């Protein structure tokens, strides 16, 4: 489980951290338009009560709140519960802490700067979020061997050290108002359909008009939803590079064989399969496990310089 490495230090911006800005370029303009529309609507409602407001408060406030997500106390109090993560139990801490200390020591970082959390799930999985959260499934925390777990934790720490999680976290925050707009549109479509059935069934003209309105609301609602899907697809495509970069850092930290062992256990459990068809490829957030193993083993056979 223990590893030694000359690769030490803090965070550095890697190429995938910059390419992860591509999904933001897709999502940010629509999010801004949505927030402006919401701000103007709220201001119109306040104006009827003779209350003066500024529409730009709302998009600005949302962006500021998104930046606050990277503050460690906010991640502990807000982001972690929002993701469904909890504090590790005593038995989980017993398994996690020694491995985490070994990984952070190899990376030359303070383990107290990061927050370990657990999600209850019967699968091998882990992910990094925000600037400090490292989340593993309850199954991974208790069923992986220390060697396998060290590879997993080293991989997630590598995402933080490469600043891979910044754009991802902010992108999820920007998607919230866009998804809310889509849900409102679909809800209005349901109301329009119900109203047509209840009050316009006696008139063919009114029924046709109601169907047109419902169809228009459905089409409008699909626009923000499609923007989110497109952003997710772009994020998955560029996210594969982040996985390879994190694996490369894992090798330089000395946990390459541990990562291979964890990936092999993932394959044995039926995970990490290669995506088939373009839809599955767009939806796949990770490269195939066998591809990652092959690349890691190649790096182990032919070690090179620093990660990057």
Task: Report whether 166 contacts 70 (CB < 8 A).
Answer: yes
pLDDT tens-digit map of 137-184: 999 999 999 999 999 999 999 999 998 888 888 888 888 888 888 888
Which residue has better confidence, 210 or 67?
Answer: 67
**∠ CA 127-132-134, rounded to 5°:** 30
Alpha-carbon distance 264 to 243, whole Å?
16
Cα dihedral across residues 119, 64, 44, 212: positive or negative? negative
Alpha-carbon distance 151 to 261, whole Å?
8
pLDDT tens-digit map of 131-144: 899 999 999 999 99
Q: Going by DSSP bridges, is the β-strand pair 115-119/126-129 parallel, antiparallel, or unpaired?
A: unpaired
Which residues 6+ apart lie within 8 Å of 82 measured at CB? none
Is the per-residue pLDDT at 85 higher than 80?
A: yes
The pLDDT score that the predictor gives to residue 143 is: 92
The pLDDT score that the predictor gives to residue 17 is: 73
Enumerate the domain spans of the chain.
15-301
Which residues 6+ apart lie within 8 Å of 55 measured at CB? 36, 39, 40, 42, 43
pTM score, two decimals? 0.80
Instruction: For residue 272, give the DSSP letter.
Output: S
Tokens 């933080």 sit at which residue? Answer: 160
**∠ CA 163-117-244, rounded to 5°:** 35
Residues 12-31, buried b or exposed e (16+ Cβ, 10 A)? eebebbebbebbbebbbebb
């Amino acid at each position: 489980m223990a590893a030694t490495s000359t690769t030490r230090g803090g965070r550095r911006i890697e190429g995938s951290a910059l390419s992860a800005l591509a999904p933001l370029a897709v999502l940010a303009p629509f999010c801004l338009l949505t927030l402006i529309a919401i701000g103007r609507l709220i201001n119109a409602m306040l104006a009827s009560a003779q209350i003066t407001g500024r529409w730009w408060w709302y998009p600005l406030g949302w962006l500021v709140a998104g930046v606050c997500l990277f503050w460690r106390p906010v991640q502990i109090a807000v982001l972690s519960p929002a993701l469904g993560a909890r504090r590790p139990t005593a038995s989980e801490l017993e398994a996690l802490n020694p491995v985490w200390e070994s990984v952070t020591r190899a990376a030359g970082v303070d383990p107290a700067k990061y927050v370990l959390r657990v999600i209850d799930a019967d699968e091998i999985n882990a992910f990094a979020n925000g600037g400090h959260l490292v989340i593993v499934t309850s199954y991974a925390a208790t069923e992986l061997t220390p060697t396998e777990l060290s590879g997993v934790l080293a991989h997630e720490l590598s995402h933080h050290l490469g600043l891979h999680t910044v754009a991802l976290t902010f992108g999820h925050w920007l998607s919230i108002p866009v998804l809310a707009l889509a849900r409102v549109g679909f809800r209005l479509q349901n109301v329009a359909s119900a109203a047509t059935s209840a009050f316009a069934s006696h008139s063919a003209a009114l029924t046709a008009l109601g169907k047109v309105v419902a169809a228009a609301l459905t089409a409008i609602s699909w626009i923000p939803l499609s923007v989110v899907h497109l952003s997710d697809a772009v994020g998955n495509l560029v996210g594969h590079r982040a996985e390879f970069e994190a694996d490369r850092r894992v090798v330089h930290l000395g946990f390459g064989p541990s990562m291979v062992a964890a990936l092999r256990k993932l394959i044995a459990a039926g995970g990490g399969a290669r995506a088939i068809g373009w839809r599955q490829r767009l939806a796949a957030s990770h490269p195939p496990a066998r591809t990652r193993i092959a690349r890691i083993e190649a790096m182990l056979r032919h070690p090179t310089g620093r990660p990057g």
